Structure 1
């Protein structure tokens, strides 16, 4: 079964590398783990952009000799290649830079939502080599298994035929919860066709003989943002996914905040009105009772007098009746987010899942409310952003679960 991924408090002065600790043999860590972690850090840097050996040395603090050795091994193993940059006039020869190889290994991401299965094959640069989805409806355990295998078979077969030189590093599964990442089991999601205790990681490992990791879709989306999105410029943020419910994935000081707990990030069940309606969790006045996508849609349909699709939210932003609904929803979101920012000292909020369809004016209003109410107002500004990956964040997050293990040294490269 896949290992539990815990939050180690490693820090580095470089913001882009917070969450990592550069290790040498003198630290007393196992030499194999040291090697894997340092290789992973170098690979993560190069996955972000083209860099020279000197650039890498400056960023992570290892010796020039150590970087030369790591880079040489990654080139030999087919993960990275050398290229020539453009030299400025009169400066001399063009510098040699390092970039991800076009033949480097890939990851398969699988996203299991309530309504759809989606699969994607990605490189370390997050290039999309293959993607496809199929709807879910009235499923059983056996029919879900059949659809998962059909989709993954197709992705693996296509990649093997179109890119025969590229091997698979593993499968990352991003799924609705609750679930248990350490056992790879989806437990008992609400409105999921009555399917419970579904051992998706075991099923995939037995069929494909690859490492498989399972994670809540909110955490997976946050990991994608961490490595390839907002995480490149900030090291403490929260991904807030608004869909049938509301959940969150949290990155603190450059590291996913999971700590082995399966309920971290359940912001949708933060009470914002102690005398509000009873939520299906048993508490009163939970955020998602007021602000999930079905609730927003139903309120807009009632206000406008016709059917509304989430993708069309922005179309109604300036219609007075709809604007009243959006303003009330924003107030509710602001209450929960102010509490969270005050507790965690976040730098940014990333709105994702179907929340990406909220109008720009609403996100702007949410940012204004947030910054007028947090305790650190006046000397700190918290940004509210739409996800870098649109509605694909949880799907890409599945693929990034494999890269996460490699960048942090938990899986060998």
Structure 2
């Protein structure tokens, strides 16, 4: 007797829902694709894509516009602006930045302001919440139009609790449940990751690492840290502390680090160490001053930053030898000083990493500049948003 292999209505519905989700996920990831590009990205036929896109337009999940590809007219699909906005926050040692973005990867408003050293968590989080409300008003909406918030914080984050995983990474913030505090203030879901991790996510999705699956993002700032994308996914490690380059020991008899160990990389290339080297020649300056002077061609500042990049490159070389990423992307404040920093780090990595006969790792400057971590916070919020659920 012939077995009936006709799919049941339930299985057909499940398949259609799965295909819808694949299409929405692809549009969320890339910001906007033609229907032909969507078919390639999802593995679905163009006819299936066309049918589902029409359904999604009807329910307000996506919108379409006429564009051209290779001289031919095409229909570009993006997440509908009416689906809502997400917010991104970057909390650094000396600055706070906030942005609003739509689900098509466009930034619609942003603002940044400096913060004092060792800024208080309650004050900084209040400012962040107020800035979000202010930006929403500027674009003509309110908290009802906000879907979620992503936070990039200058410290490793324990994924289970959202608390800072390493003492001393951001002084005074260790016991602060950032996500819970902001959720209470904004009444919206809040997700927190390390800023280096979100810098890696942003460069992987939209920047210098978007064509590969394994990315090491090195953030050279007031301290040194890294974000890892392995197999296309952000890698946290078992406790959320993956990527803490600044706490790799480089001098066993060196100064005591904020983490309590001796001779960590940050004691050699962190803000305090760099400013101490330059104090005899320049007096009291800030790290921003040093970066600006290096941009303007000051040989002393350029030398100090290049030396810091070379030492960092030795540590990065160990990570490259261990994990074999396809690209190392360099970001953070120090990378803004000019090509010398990236070149010095690249040369050091190639000198100290295991030589590869066919594919030595590429070491490049980030394409998103100082906004990488903020853009990564927006990407985190988008990733965690159920677009179809919102539309329904």
**TM superposition score normalised by structure 1:** 0.78
Instruction: Report the more deviating stretch, 181-190 or 243-252.
Output: 181-190
The within-5 A match list for 1:315-330 is 315=295, 319=299, 321-322=300-301, 324-330=303-309
Contact 2:199 2:217 in 1 (8 A): yes
CA RMSD of aligned residues (A): 3.4
Contact 1:316 1:322 in 2 (8 A): no
**Counterpart in the other structure of 1:123:** 102
* CA–CA separation in structure 2 for the residues paired with 1:401 and 1:87: 29
**Counterpart in the other structure of 2:54:** 72
| 1:283, distance to aligned residue in structure 2 (A) | 2.9
- Structure 2, gaps ≥5 residues long: 1-9
Q: Does 1:38 align with 2:28?
A: no
**Counterpart in the other structure of 1:106:** 85
Q: Does 1:197 align with 2:146?
A: no
The 1:33/1:271 distance shift into structure 2, 3 A limit, reads farther
2:357 corresponds to which of 353, 378, 385: 378
* CA–CA separation in structure 2 for the residues paired with 1:323 and 1:120: 32
Instruction: Report the more deviating stretch, 371-380 or 284-293.
Output: 371-380
The 1:140/1:336 distance shift into structure 2, 3 A limit, reads closer
* CA–CA separation in structure 1 for the residues paired with 2:389 and 2:321: 35
Instruction: Give the count of matched residue pairs.
Output: 377
Contact 2:203 2:367 in 1 (8 A): yes
Q: For 1:170-193, what per-residue CA distance to the aligned partner results, in whole angstroms no more than 9, with x for missing partners?
A: 111111224334333456753856
The within-5 A match list for 1:114-263 is 114-137=93-116, 139-159=119-139, 161=140, 167-186=145-164, 190=168, 192=170, 194-263=172-241
Question: 3-state SS of the aligned residue for 2:73?
Answer: coil
Question: 3-state SS of the aligned residue for 2:225?
Answer: strand
- Structure 1, gaps ≥5 residues long: 1-24
Higher relative contact order (CA 8 A, sep 6+): 1
**Counterpart in the other structure of 1:61:** 43
Question: 3-state SS of the aligned residue for 1:98?
Answer: strand
1:82 corresponds to which of 64, 76, 81: 64
The 1:293/1:354 distance shift into structure 2, 3 A limit, reads farther
The 1:185/1:283 distance shift into structure 2, 3 A limit, reads closer
Contact 1:317 1:361 in 2 (8 A): no
Contact 1:371 1:377 in 2 (8 A): no
* CA–CA separation in structure 2 for the residues paired with 1:337 and 1:315: 24
* CA–CA separation in structure 2 for the residues paired with 1:117 and 1:291: 23
The 1:225/1:87 distance shift into structure 2, 3 A limit, reads closer
Contact 1:314 1:360 in 2 (8 A): no
